Amino acid sequence: MSDRFGSGSPAAAGFRPEVEGLRAVAALLVAAYHVWLGRVSGGVDVFFVISGYLITDSLLRQAERDGRLDIGAFWMRLVRRLAPGAFLVLAAVTLGSALILPQVRWFETASEILAAALYVENWRLALNAVDYLARETPPSPVQHYWALSVQAQFYLLWPFLAIVAFALSRRLGTDRRRVLATVIGAVLSASLAYSILITGHDQPWAYFDSFARLWEFCLGALLAAIAVKRVPQLTAAIAGWAALAAIISCGLIFRAADSFPGLAALWPTIAAAVLLTVGSAGGRNGVHVLLASRPMVALGGVSYHLYLWHWPILIFWLADRDVAVPTDFEGMLIIAAAVALAFLTTRLELPLRRRRIGSDRALLASVGIAVLVVVALHAFVGNSVSREGASVGTRNYPGAAARAPGAETASLPDVPLLPTPIGARRDVPRLYDEDCYQKLGEAELTSCDYGTQVEPAAVIVLVGGSHSAHYLPAFEALAGERRWKIVTLTKSACRWDAEPVDYKDQACIVWNRRVTQRIIELKPALVVTTANVAGNSDVPRGFIVQWKQVAAAGIPILAIRDNPTFPFDVPECVERHGAKAAECSVARSAVLSEASPEATLSDPLAGVTFADLSRYFCDDVSCPPAYGNVLIYRDRGHLTASYARTLAPFLGERIDKILRRTPGPSTAP
């Protein structure tokens, strides 16, 4: 049995055909659920249990045979067996990305290819999971390498833990398996407890956290250490089929990925542990009759490469067809192509695995060169994507001014958009680079000051989520003209809402209590926030609760109607079809309610002024991706910093009127 994703070394407990079949089931589940259902299958969790079992059994057998562990040889076997396929797919993905993916995705894809090559893709995705802007980007063709990264990190750690356990057994004069089982049990308990805790607190991070996944490997490792005796035939038959049914049904029972990897992951992992335990003990009615069949064993032998190939083929297919999901027939073609490539890749690898060509040093050098190539690619793409927008507001790039009453748009020259679609992703307010924006899972207030710092004419607080933060470039422009001080109090995926009960980020509730109190303490001349959520014109009740508290303290509020959110990625569409293409515009009625937020209120709110900027996003019929040669959106619904800057005059008019009505603008620090 090969040292592959979800497997161990050739010395691991001999050849167990039913384990190969289990790997085939796991790989097919992962592929099928990705292609047709778009959700978690539990297959990766099964792989982790198998991996822990076989690798631990391999280490135990080596220690019993040689009296010691050769970690260098252990790692070299893993590199020889895992790296060629992984880097071959990365090379194919690099080429496919250049040929198929829109340039808008190149920088993020290059970043993820680099992370995958260094086996840290899980940590990159964990950071992206708490980065609201990164969560808005489409999945990359190497996103599935997160599981390989977790596995590689386990392989890096596990021999050292085994060495410690074996040394402890010698010192105590105790059986090494018993000591190892005790150590594994302790690690399993700690990791499972952490997994349950972090999944409840910050599930997006937990999903990719190696420490939250470690217990899954430990479960398989514990089975190898305790060496369970043969299970009675009837019990093995019943338990085996029940466990297989549990694995297959996991993705149907747990319909959302946001329950993993905590308690929900016990379902597929315990089922996998049961199958590893019963093995072939079920007799002629046992589950091994299916799992150890020739087709299942053959498919299990290429399961690693099937896992590697299925995801990029799916992503490239969807990108090339410009669709969100494949048809049933297309899905079958995608899986068939992945299976064919898996068999081909395995066949090509056989000489290397048998050490008939090259040497270990040559292989390591090849891997090192591959990593350097990926690093160079990332640097090249990164340097080609620059921030833009310096020319907005000029005659050629009026942006929102092209929608002002009486504006002459017929004379606008036909020039390239600013920012370009490829530059739009990084055309963001500078508060993101300056760490002035609170992340998911964090409740502490993060605040930064912009504009005039010494004796400002007025202090204005910008509060809320990303749809408040994306107006900062407009306020910075106004602050320079009017000597304002702008204070930001913003947080990822967390609007200024006293009742954020439906938010996945529970820290948002605490943050909301703190931010309102902070605003009252600041006593600014004005608070600016969003008035509603996307196309829904109703003002959430929790918004009103917050506004009333602040208004009662004598602080006026400007509530801006939220901009439209598109059903597709705008820069990608513009790159494919052009800014004037009908495919890149949406009907106004589809993304904006007819009534304004203010009109939905039964009674006026004292101290609250509403601003409706819809004319700068839509005309009477449709909402285009650009106005005045400036691209409006950097994804589906966040404004580019360039376009936000061109909104400054129109926001300034409204704010000036509010401040003139205020007895005296605050100059609070």
pLDDT digits 0-9 by tens, 259-304: 888 899 999 999 999 999 988 888 888 998 999 999 999 999 999 9
Q: Does residue 367 register a pLDDT over 80?
A: no
**92-97 average pLDDT score:** 90
Q: Provide the pLDDT for residue 63.
A: 81
Joined tokens for residue 245? 């049914």
Task: At 496, list the tokens.
Answer: 């200024």
Determine which of 48-62, 77-91, 318-332, 350-364 has the lowest per-residue pLDDT on average: 350-364
One-letter identity of residue 456: P
Is residue 356 very low, low, confident or very high in pLDDT (cuts 50, 70, 90)? Answer: very low
pLDDT in tens, 484-530: 999 999 998 899 998 876 666 678 889 999 999 999 999 999 999 99
Q: pLDDT at position 135, please? A: 54
Residues 485 and 460 sit within 8 Å (Cβ to Cβ): yes
Percent of the chain with pLDDT over 90: 52
Calculate mean pLDDT across residues 600-610: 89
Compute the average pLDDT of residues 383-408: 73
Asked if the model's pLDDT at residue 9 lies above 80, the reply is no
What pLDDT score does 13 carry?
Answer: 47
Written as one letter, the residue type at 530 is T
Whole-prediction pTM value?
0.80
Report the pLDDT averaged over residues 629-635. 95
Rounded Cα distance, 561 and 537, in Å: 8
Higher pLDDT, 577 or 75: 577
Mean pLDDT, residues 470-493: 93
Question: pLDDT confidence of 453, banded at 50, 70, 90?
Answer: confident
Measure the CA–CA gap between 656 and 402, rounded to whole angstroms. Answer: 22
User: So what's the pLDDT on residue 53?
Assistant: 93
Give the model's confidence band at 354: pLDDT under 50 very low, under 70 low, under 90 confident, else very high.
low
58-67, 68-77, 268-277, 280-289 — which one is most confidently predicted on average?
Answer: 268-277
Look at the chain and count its residues: 669
Give all strands of the β-sheet with 458-464 in edge-to-edge order.
Answer: 447-451, 484-490, 458-464, 526-530, 557-560, 608-611
Contact 86, 342 (CB under 8 A): no
Q: Give CA–CA dist 207/213, Å, rounded.
A: 8
Report whether pLDDT(137) > 80: no
Share the mean pLDDT of the chain: 86
**Could you report the per-residue pLDDT of 192-224, keeping only the tens digit for each?**
999 999 988 888 889 999 999 999 999 999 999
How far apart (Å, rounded) are the C-alpha atoms in residues 376 and 452?
A: 41
The reported pLDDT for the residue numbered 120 is: 94
Confidence category of residue 8, pLDDT binned at 50, 70, 90: very low
For residues 576-591, b (16+ Cβ closer than 10 Å) or e, as one string?
beebeeeebbbebeeb
pLDDT band, very low/low/confident/very high, at 29 (cuts 50, 70, 90) = very high
* Per-residue pLDDT at 543: 94
Q: Which residue has the higher pLDDT, 638 or 2?
A: 638
